[in-house]
Structure 1
Amino acid sequence: MDFNRLFNSIPEPIVVLSPEYKVVAATDAFLESSLRTRDQLIGLHFLLEAFPERENSYQDNAIKKGLDQVLQTKKAVRLGAMRYDIQKPESQGGGYEVRFWEVNQTPILDSEGNVEYIMQKPFDVTEREVSQVALQKSEEKFKVMAEALPQLIYTIEPGGKTSYFNKRWEEYTGINLETLLQIKWDQMIHPDDLENTLAKWETAAKEGAEMQMELRMRDKNGTYRWHLSRSIPMKDADGNITMWIGSSTDIHDTRKLVQELLDSNEQMALLSDQVQHAYEKAESERKTLERLIMEAPAMFVILRGPEHRFELMNDKYQQLYPGRNLIGMPLGEALPDIKAQGFTKLLDRVYETGETYIAEGVPIILPKDGTDEMEERFFNFSYQPMYEAGKITGILAFGYDITNEILFKRKLEDLSSL
């Protein structure tokens, strides 16, 4: 029997080393995964000649430490995931191909119990590791966005355990985030709203459907304020729920305004109905963290660099300028009317000082329904600096339209003065 041929044909990547770490044999599968030929490996030192370390020293090489341990203990060693990029031959364009590996190192002992060979079996885990890195970056991006929003943002695991609160929760409740993750919802929700909230959550969890409701939550002063709470299930390719993303928006003042109108005399009944209808419409349009932050019910923009170039914006912002491609353009050049109203100076100040700017009820002149006609609208908005390596590289701009609320208040003031 041709044992060399038999070994070479093993459908798994295996390389055999001498106690001096020189390559003795390698399967065809190993050659394929390493983009090498036998002539490029057999007889060469595995670490110094065949696969030299590009960054770390020979003594710090994780593979060498594992081989040393095998020689010392005469026991198998399993090395966790590590990155080692494979050099591509010139016929494939040269350069390096990013790879991640887990490695099993097994001693082969002679009749006297000494290590005669070391069999090394690498497992290519590149796809898994790259996916994990991508997931980590996605989670980091989500947290940056979530921390920038003025709403109370949270995530819930499929089993019902809360796994994340943004910083706004700590500011609102006066309870640190670590403690918030341990307590139950019934410690924050008004007792009269608790039963209905839990029932709606149970139905949503069972059906895998979105949940939206109004409820009262206790703030750090012990006051219960009305919130519009919404939870959206996030699902994988197979339709399984991976987590729930939720938000809670303070609507206490708006509800109070509506209630004042409803409590007015009969002559104001018609106006109250109109206000209530407009309020409900505004709340339905103000979608809360819908299908990740990019579908938030408010305007969200990332401006990059000192020229404040549009890098990212959601549909809500794009609706202000339908049909116009703003991505990549400096704000002052793309929207000269906004620059003329002084907003680029505010952005410059945030970019230079690193101080967050928050404004409420600011009038802004904008195109009406995407036409050349201009109209005055009112907004609450914030400009928050973004950092990379300790330096400001851009600005997160978040805002939402409160025109209806301003107009309602003016109507109420006019009626009260009659």
Structure 2
Amino acid sequence: MLSSRPVLTLSALIIFLLSLFFFGFRPPSYYLTRPGVISSEFPDFGRFRSLETLHPEQFPLYDVDRRVIIVGDIHGMFEQFQRLLAKISYNPSSDVLISVGDIVAKGPHSGSMQVLDLMASHNVTAVRGNHDQQVIEWRTWIEWVHSLPGGSRWLSTANERWRKAQRHGADDVDKWVAEQVKHDRRHSQWWKRIPKKWTLFGDHYKIAEEMTDEQYVYMVQRPLRIHVPHAHTFIVHAGILASDPEYPSGHKRQPLAHIPPLPEDNQSLDKSDKISILRRLQEQAILSDVPQNTVPWNTLNMRGILSDHSVTRKQEGTPWAELYNKNMKRCAGFDAKEKSSLPCYSSTVIYGHAASRGLDINRWSIGLDSGCVYKRHMSALVLGGKLAQQSLTSDLEDRFDEEAIDIDGRIVSSKIQFGDSGRGKLYRVTCK
């Protein structure tokens, strides 16, 4: 007969292996998506994937027979999404579809499930949005609870009790959960397993509960950021910074203020190849060396920079895109001589999240969230294809089929500058 100590050791080993099976081998999460949820008592619900790099085949910017279609925030607006793809004449066999995140939630629940099914079944390239992140966290939490003895029974019972409370007029699930935490002493430890500021049985929970295992895997595989070196482009949901606002843009700490060292095995390359490698290294440094860009919450939520240099998700302070473009306009190549310039080459950011600004088209940043979920528009940027043959010297005065109005009432040209010398075309549909 086994002694108690080996039995306990074996039990601990089994629990550890089960944890690896459900959550993978990684440290516990001390920072979840919503501020204020800081604890070491929970597993890693965030399951962040930091970066994905796209190659020319995955982002055919210069291919006249293929296009890149980048779509703004969808938020489960499935019918409008379908109309936008039809307007662009999207061809899944040749076009590359990319999302800037927030594919689900806020819109109709059924629409969210349809969008998720389409995106996952076609393995559409996308970055995570803040709402996508909440769905991931809820699904990981649900699986964690189910893995605990008695967890499935408690969650099923809690769900039924909430439905009963709704039939009796309850409509605030957060208030209802607070009452359960206060009075349901028998299950108090279970209620405490809900992280603070999470809304149980809300929209994000329902999507998380209903989606398939394959859809969950698809969501978890979405990175926070995409880097496209050959196009000198970043794709994020909310934003990134080109420099740390704590220091002047020309400070030695800043990635754009100095030329990165060229690897030894590249010293014999010609000048153009060296520049290409150095640009890639400098762009990578923007992602890794600007501290604000290494915080997942910032990438998912950032809208502005306050006077104390902190990041905010509110419409306060200086819009991050304004600071980004200010930095990029100072880039004058690696041979820069003037004190006002920086030894760098400019790169483009494509993003969503800022519906209150609508289409936000600047020289080095392109905001595509035009507020479809608020009954405004859904927008997309098309690159490559016929546009690959056109340069910035071509006519840039083409207009939308319908007038495109940005948040300030200005008419936006459908053809825009993109990257060093390319062009892109904007499309939109009305979401009323």
TM-score exceeds 0.5 = no
Structure with more strand by fraction: 1
TM-score by length of 2: 0.25
TM-score by length of 1: 0.26
